[in-house]
Every structure is written in structure tokens, then in C-alpha cells.
Amino acid sequence: MYQEHYQTTELEDWVSTMYKKMGITKPSLINEQKISRYFDIFLKKKPMHSSYHIIGRYRDIVIDEREPEEKHREIFFHELCHILRHSGIQSMMPTAFRELQEWDAKHFTQYAAIPRHMLKFIPFQDHDVVNQMSLMFQVSPELCEMRLEQIKRRLQIAKKVTF
């Protein structure tokens, strides 16, 4: 259904290409530790606000362990985006630039959590698709709903253009 009409973004393609280089081809292979090691990033869980740090060549991501477990992966992807795609100290940058980085991190999180090359594993026609996605990709139902809505919007746009 989606394959003929779904239009990807550059960021979506970039994430899928990154995963394929790491050998991550199905949902069960998405692993924060593996991804962290690939990029030489230390991953820690502590009872403190989630954040990332870059000090010279040292890079780490701290996930607030007080957050619900289903949010840990989403937090990881959000912070990973900042390390891989952004520069600067957010507290010192103009609001518009900070907002752009957060917008980018939000979209990166959706694509990294539910990548385009794994859409084929989603049972779109199932009435319980959100819960199945949540279990399959180990992320919150809210993120799954956002990603599904995004996919539907893209399909609707493509159909208007194609037909």
C-alpha cells in the first residue's frame, strides 16, 4: 500500500541508510547500545535530566532513568540527533535556531524509532496497529500514532499529486 506512493524525506533516507550500514534491517535489531558503540558514544542511565555531552572527542548520552522505560529509546534518539546533526550550545543560541534543532530532533526520533525501510513490518490494516507498533519498535504508543499520522499525510499528498 504505502510503497508505491509514500514520499520520503532526506532525513528519513539518511536514517535508513545509517541503519543499513550498521546491519539494522528489522525492528528487533534496533539497539541503543549497538548504535552508541557504532558512533563511539557512551550511553548512561542516571537519575538526572536527559542530556548529551561533547567534550573534545568524548561524547555521551545520559538518559533519565526516572522516565518510563518505553520513553528511554525516544530520549536516546532525541539526544543522538543533537550529537550527530547539531552544533552549538542551545542555551546560547537564538530561539529560532534552537527551535529548528528541536524540530529536527523530533523528526529524527520518529524516523530512527520507526525507520522507513521497516514500514513493511507494520500491519497497517490491523485495528490494533498502534499497540503492535509500540511493542515491535519498543516506543510509546504516542510516538507510533504520530508516525502513523505522518505516513498517512504523506500518502494523501502523494495521491493528490499522482492522480
Record the cell numbers describing residue 74, joined without a space. Answer: 525516544
pTM here is 0.88
Summarised one tens digit per residue, pLDDT across range 49-74 is 999 999 999 999 999 999 999 899 99
Summarised one tens digit per residue, pLDDT across range 77-115 is 999 999 999 766 665 656 777 787 888 899 999 999 999
Residue count of the chain: 163
**Domain count of the chain?**
1
Q: Domain range spanning residue 84?
A: 2-162
Q: Please give the backbone phi and psi of residue 64, each rounded to the nearest 5 degrees, phi first.
A: -70, 110
